[in-house]
Structure 1
């Protein structure tokens, strides 16, 4: 395969359409408001608000990266509007689609999971701003696992409380925001078997195809 290989992001799709629609709606509403139907004040204000919402959504989608993943000879790069993170192939133990067999009867989640061999190396190079964004974006997955695990009596509620201090291994202690990310990643690894989660709803194509592409690229480069 010719490398690097890019897996596109769908989060930026239709950004220009939303922006054009917002400007168009605002322009039409302005003409109608002041030229013909100035008495429809409430309806005009609603349409102005809707136009502004479309513009904001369009500009937000435009800020999303065009690519979600880059697969190169040295490793995998994950792109996010907050930052990027690089994981070398040598530090990737396996990739897969997480499923919580023990709690959820084998249900698969809408993520591609990455299990790393050396968690400390992974956490030490992880951008804080990206960690902060992922803590928010992946909160539904975190709460779903917490609710199902505790409902079956198989977890301690304190395990799902974000900690500002986290000990990893014998001597390494993380503090602050990165400690919250480390604590959550380690708990997710315990429950689902992966440290890092990429939302599969934000990538082009099917999760199975993206997963196969990652696995094939990793195997090709590791066998060289």
Structure 2
């Protein structure tokens, strides 16, 4: 069994690049036919074109496959590296939720809670750890705002020491140590260690969860 996931986010790469080219062409055309184009119009069109181009390029350079699911486990692919987890190491997976007043709000991620975080920390590269720390900063902020609103000092969540001692006593240093501590913090706040953005999935996040459960069950 092998199932490859092609992220939805990558599908719009050419669209963003095309819009960037069209806007830039429009800007050039306007300046060719008129000499009195307002500076504001030039700035807005130029900036929008640049933003669309950056978004398009960012999507183009992403791997065509974001997740590879096999009988052995799940492998996550990122342009900065990869991590993988065995089915036997997964306690559970679900969509994390945060408390918002009198209701719960879904976070746009699929979370995985693990028996042994060391399996990930021993395998992940510093480059990927750094990228995920940056990309999941918004998720951390969301979790702190709604799960720990009574805290007065959030410094420990953003000024993380570069040394982490895992549950089995292994010491991790540098970016891997920071990532290990962040995994511990996210488990405390949301209940999960690893997170995959909904942008990396090929369908609605709840549909993907159900499909993942079917794939897991098909192993036996």
Query: Considering the TM-score relative to the shorter chain, is it more than 0.5?
Result: yes
State how 1:1-224 maps to structure 2 within 5 Å: 3-34=1-32, 36-40=33-37, 42=39, 43-100=41-98, 106-152=104-150, 157=154, 159-160=156-157, 161-169=159-167, 171-221=169-219, 223=220
**SS in structure 2 opposite 1:191?**
helix
**Structure 1 Cα separation of the partners of residues 134 and 146 of structure 2:** 19
**Structure 2 Cα separation of the partners of residues 173 and 151 of structure 1:** 31
- Aligned pair count reads 218
Q: Is the 8 A contact 1:95 1:215 kept in 2?
A: no
For normalisation by structure 2, the TM-score amounts to 0.85
Deviation at 1:4, TM superposition (A): 1.4
| Structure label with greater radius of gyration | 1
**Compared CA separation, residues 31 and 151, structure 1 to 2 (3 A):** closer
**Compared CA separation, residues 118 and 21, structure 1 to 2 (3 A):** same
Deviation at 1:135, TM superposition (A): 0.8
**Structure 2 Cα separation of the partners of residues 177 and 26 of structure 1:** 40
**Structure 2 Cα separation of the partners of residues 213 and 61 of structure 1:** 25
Q: Is the 8 A contact 1:71 1:77 kept in 2?
A: yes
Deviation at 1:104, TM superposition (A): 8.0
Deviation at 1:213, TM superposition (A): 1.8
**SS in structure 1 opposite 2:4?**
strand
Shift >4 Å, 4+ stretches:
103-106, 155-159
**SS in structure 2 opposite 1:11?**
helix
Q: Is the 8 A contact 1:69 1:77 kept in 2?
A: yes
Give unpaired runs (5+ residues) of structure 2.
none
Deviation at 1:106, TM superposition (A): 4.2
**Structure 2 Cα separation of the partners of residues 180 and 73 of structure 1:** 31
**SS in structure 1 opposite 2:68?**
strand
Q: Is the 8 A contact 1:166 1:180 kept in 2?
A: yes
Name which of structure 1's ranges 91-100 and 132-141 shifts more when overlaid on structure 2. 91-100
Deviation at 1:187, TM superposition (A): 1.9
